[in-house]
Amino acid sequence: MRIILLGPPGAGKGTQAKFISEKFGIPHISTGDIFMRNISEGTELGRKAKNYIDQGLLVPDEVTIDLVMNRLEQNDVKEGYLLDGFPRTVHQGDVLCRMISESGQMLDAALLIDVPSSYIKERMPGRRICKFCGSSYHLQFNPPDEEGLCDHCGHELVQRRDDHVEAVEERLKVYEEQTMPLIDYFEKKKLLVRIDGTREIEEVTREIVEKLRALEKNE
Ligand code: AP5
Ligand code: MG
């Protein structure tokens, strides 16, 4: 399956992506995670992305599109993938859809995890991520088994660099202005699948899996 995950910052894209990727056996590609890893490793890509990310702005299309197009040429994504956080502009959507149709493939769904901004502002201060593997936790809604440590790899949990109030406000604004037009875009292509992301994590997962299984049956 080829799936896109849409939704505001903090909607739960990364949280749900882990389950979807495992259940459907498709690689999870998060542009945000790739940028964050490159920033902590001090690479050229990280240097290009850092200032934008710290301010809550989008990394320019020319950097992001090249990154994703190169990633989608690798062997492990031949049978499918889950894109988390890409596309985020209509231009990115156009490039992706063109690439998919030119290679004779199909996109199965654009999953929108819908969460109003009032929820997001409450959720963000409690998020903690693993410094090493990027897994996402929440102090209240999704705590790790052992306080401050990642369940998967045991490394330290930290607050994300762009989870401070100003950057969250900016990310929500950028989402409304630049990413929300993609909802209409994929609705017109009859690919949009809406998920209510305000419910508990397990309930959201259940609905996503049900809807994706139904799509698989119709293929
Ligand atoms: P990215 O990392 O994609 O950031 P984002 O879209 O802001 O999304 P987040 O990762 O913050 O949230 P999420 O939806 O994954 O939520 P999570 O599962 O962690 O991008 C970062 C930056 O990179 C961007 O700002 C931009 O600069 C750049 N970038 C990335 N892609 C780009 C692109 N295509 N073009 C240009 N620039 C790009 O959950 C959040 C919290 O809520 C966690 O604590 C979690 O435990 C908790 N939670 C999850 N689900 C629930 C629930 N149902 N109930 C209660 N709590 C929940
Ligand atoms: Mg994420």
CATH entry 3.40.50.300 includes domain 2-203 = yes
Looking at residue 210, what is its pLDDT? 96
Looking at residue 25, what is its pLDDT? 96
Looking at residue 217, what is its pLDDT? 84
Give the orientation angle of helix 13-24 with respect to helix 201-218, to 10 degrees. Answer: 40
- Residues 103 and 92: beta-carbon distance below 8 Å: no
Question: CA 51 to CA 70: how far, in whole Å?
Answer: 23
pTM, 2 dp: 0.95
Looking at residue 134, what is its pLDDT? 86
Q: Is 7 in the pocket of ligand 1 (CB under 6 A)?
A: yes
Q: Along the 219 residues of the chain, how does pLDDT read in single tens digits? A: 999 999 999 999 999 999 999 999 999 999 999 999 999 999 999 999 999 999 999 999 999 999 999 999 999 999 999 999 999 999 999 999 999 999 999 999 999 999 999 999 999 999 999 988 888 999 999 999 999 999 999 999 999 989 989 999 999 999 999 999 999 999 999 999 999 999 999 999 999 999 999 998 877
Where are the domains positioned within the chain? 2-203
Best residue among 28, 31, 113 to mutate for probing ligand 1, ranked by most atoms within 8 Å of CB: 31
Question: CA 205 to CA 207: how far, in whole Å?
Answer: 6
- Residues 209 and 19: beta-carbon distance below 8 Å: yes
Residue 127 CB coordination number (10 Å): 20
| Pairing of β 192-196 and β 81-84 | unpaired
Looking at residue 100, what is its pLDDT? 96
Q: What is the dihedral sign for C-alpha 113, 119, 120, 123?
A: negative
Catalytic residues: 13, 88, 127, 160, 171
**Phi and psi (nearest 5°) for 97?**
-65, -35
Q: Is 11 in the pocket of ligand 1 (CB under 6 A)?
A: yes
Q: Which ligand is nearest to the CA of 162?
A: 1
- Residues 83 and 92: beta-carbon distance below 8 Å: no
Which residue has its alpha carbon closest to ligand 1 atom 34? 86
Q: Is 10 in the pocket of ligand 1 (CB under 6 A)?
A: yes
| Pairing of β 136-138 and β 127-130 | antiparallel
Q: Is 136 in the pocket of ligand 1 (CB under 6 A)?
A: yes
Looking at residue 71, what is its pLDDT? 95
Residues in CB range of 11: below 8 A, 6 or more apart: 113, 114, 115, 120, 197
